[in-house]
């Protein structure tokens, strides 16, 4: 049976949330564009993985010109 929140002590509630903290994502420096990226994933800034271009990204040059 669930216990209503006002019947639970402050420490019981905090102990239940002890594993709910957010984890900071691991970031490495992209070897091609030197921007922070996640390891084992294609760089979102230049689309490269292991030094080669794997996906072609849509350029946002139209917004830059305005
Ligand atoms: Zn990159």
CA of 48 to the centre of ligand 1 (A): 6
pLDDT at 62 over 70: no
Q: What global pTM score does this model have?
A: 0.54
Domain boundaries, the chain: 22-57
CA of 42 to the centre of ligand 1 (A): 8
CA of 52 to the centre of ligand 1 (A): 10
CA of 60 to the centre of ligand 1 (A): 16
Token output for 51: 């030094």
Give the side-chain half-sphere CA count within 13 A for 51: 0
Tens digits of residue pLDDT in 3-47: 898 999 999 989 999 999 999 999 999 988 899 999 999 999 888
Handedness of CA 53, 59, 60, 64 (dihedral sign): positive
Q: Give the pLDDT confidence score for residue 65 in this predicted structure.
A: 53
DSSP three-state, residue 29 = strand
How sure is the predictor about 52, in pLDDT bands with cuts at 50, 70 and 90? confident
């Amino acid at each position: 049976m669930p216990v209503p929140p006002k019947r639970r002590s402050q420490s019981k509630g905090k102990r239940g949330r002890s594993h709910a903290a957010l984890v900071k994502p691991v970031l490495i420096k992209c070897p091609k564009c030197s921007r922070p990226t996640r390891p084992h994933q294609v760089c979102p800034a230049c689309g490269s993985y292991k030094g080669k271009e794997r996906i072609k990204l849509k350029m946002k040059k139209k917004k830059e010109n305005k």
